[in-house]
Amino acid sequence: MSPFLRTAWAVFRKDIAVERRAKEGANALGFFALLLLFLFYFALGPDGDRIRAALPGLFWLAFILAGVLGLGRAFALEQENDCLDGLILAPADKGAIYLGKLAGTTALMLGMEVAFITATGIFYNLDIWAAVPRLLLVALAGTVGFAAVGTLFAAMTAHLRAREVLLPVLLLPLAVPVLLAAVKLTDLALAGEGWGPAWPWWQLLLGFDVVFLVAGLLTFEFVLEA
């Protein structure tokens, strides 16, 4: 394995290990998503039809809100004992650290998304199981794009007092294309539509992913070293 990949993998494994062992646990994100599920019901129910109609949007609202928290955690864990300095001092490619962080956050968010989709199917008695493979693909592509931009800004806001507010304020407007495309694709997946109408939206989403993955790989070292 090249040093670059070894570094990225090391950061990924470390983040997963720390998340699993941390007192709060990754469960906190899952519980938060579940809580949102209930909140949506209280806000939009008790008539299930309104919720069913809004489902794609609700999915991604939940994913993005929980995602902002997840991104914050990815760098909050580096604040203890100034571990961020440790990352800077390591003779490692900073782009690899970016990739590792991105992978860790994506994995965490995906876990939460899977739980949320499953819970939605159960609680609203929906037959979404046929759509699940496609839903997961959309979730993956959308999450990667969101995290690609998010990791940059999470690193920037990590040591600011106003970090909880500043991260969403900076990130969410930039992530709107992801929201639009992902909701549209989720909608098409749930409706069982073919790949035809979905294709331009896939192009948009994947294009976004590629552009910001590259941008992140190139600019992360500047953010880290600032």
E strand residue ranges, the chain: none
- Rounded to the nearest 10°, the torsion over CA 160, 165, 167, 171 is -150
Q: How far apart are CA 192 and CA 71, in angstroms?
A: 32
Tell me how many degrees the CA angle 208-213-215 measures, rounded to the nearest 5. Answer: 95
Residues 6+ apart with CB under 8 A from 139: 63, 110, 113, 114, 117, 182
Contact characters 161-180, another protein, x per CB under 8 A = -x---x--xx--xx-xx--x
Applying CB under 8 A, the site for another protein has a residue count of: 59
Tokens of 13: 């494994």
Cα 67 to its chain centre, rounded Å, is 5
Please state the closest distance from residue 136 (CB atom) to another protein, in A.
Answer: 22
Q: Which is nearer to another protein, 30 or 150 (CB)?
A: 150
Q: Which of residues 48-77 bind another protein (CB under 8 A)?
A: 77
Among residues 46, 49, 91, 196, the one that binds another protein under rule CB under 8 A: 91
Q: Which residues make up the interface to another protein (CB under 8 A)? A: 2-4, 6-7, 9-11, 13-14, 17-18, 21-22, 77, 80-83, 85-93, 96-97, 149, 152-153, 156, 160, 162, 166, 169-170, 173-174, 176-177, 180-181, 184, 200-201, 204, 207-208, 211-212, 215, 219, 222-223, 225-226
